[in-house]
């Protein structure tokens, strides 16, 4: 919901800026900085939901030719690699968000915005992605060892 709201806000802000710039020759200050923050929020806060729905892009050209058990094995490998990658991203995100908050870091631009909200959204989104990857791993291991049915 928050990711969708951030995306909607980017659309409204972008449209308002385009209107004010073209119609009144009055660009809105801070649109670029605010859009940067909202972009991070919309991308990272939606990752885990897309993963849960298996909505991320998958190249199935070769994987589709594999036997179901081998395909499940590669799903297990993918879940492990995804979890490892996002543990690193989450760790960096939490360290960066706390540091940004503690030092009072602001974006350099026409409208100085605090940077910690975007970094916090990155950390939260990456953390949820780790949790979802581990849930996928548990499910895929269950499928691999015949304890669960494969996903449709």
Mean pLDDT (10-residue bins), the chain, 152 residues: 94 95 92 92 95 84 85 93 97 97 91 93 97 96 84 63
Contacts of 73 (CB under 8 A, 6+ apart): 144
pLDDT given for residue 60 in this prediction:
77
Contacts of 55 (CB under 8 A, 6+ apart): 49
pLDDT given for residue 108 in this prediction:
85
- List the end-to-end C-alpha distance of the chain, in Å, as a whole number: 26
* Cα–Cα distances in angstroms (integers) from residue 72 to residues 62, 136, 140, 149, in the given order: 13, 11, 6, 11
CB crowding 82-96: b at 16 or more within 10 Å, else e: bbeebbebbeebbeb
pLDDT given for residue 152 in this prediction:
56
Structure tokens, 26:
């009055």
pTM here is: 0.87
pLDDT given for residue 5 in this prediction:
95
Cβ–Cβ under 8 Å, residues 34 and 113: yes
pLDDT given for residue 110 in this prediction:
82
Cβ–Cβ under 8 Å, residues 72 and 150: yes
């Amino acid at each position: 919901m928050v990711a969708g709201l951030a995306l909607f806000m980017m659309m409204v802000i972008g449209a308002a800026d385009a209107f004010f710039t073209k119609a009144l020759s009055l660009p809105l200050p801070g649109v670029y900085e605010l859009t940067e923050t909202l972009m991070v929020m919309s991308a990272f806060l939606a990752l885990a939901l897309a993963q849960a729905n298996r909505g991320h892009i998958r190249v199935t050209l070769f994987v589709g030719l594999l036997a179901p058990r081998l395909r499940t094995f590669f799903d297990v490998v993918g879940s492990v690699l995804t979890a490892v990658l996002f543990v690193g991203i989450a760790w960096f995100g939490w360290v960066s968000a706390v540091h940004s908050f503690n030092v009072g870091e602001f974006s350099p631009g026409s409208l100085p915005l605090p940077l910690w909200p975007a970094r916090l959204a990155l950390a939260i989104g990456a953390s949820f992605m780790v949790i979802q990857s581990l849930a996928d791993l548990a499910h895929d291991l269950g499928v691999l060892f015949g304890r669960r049915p494969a996903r449709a």
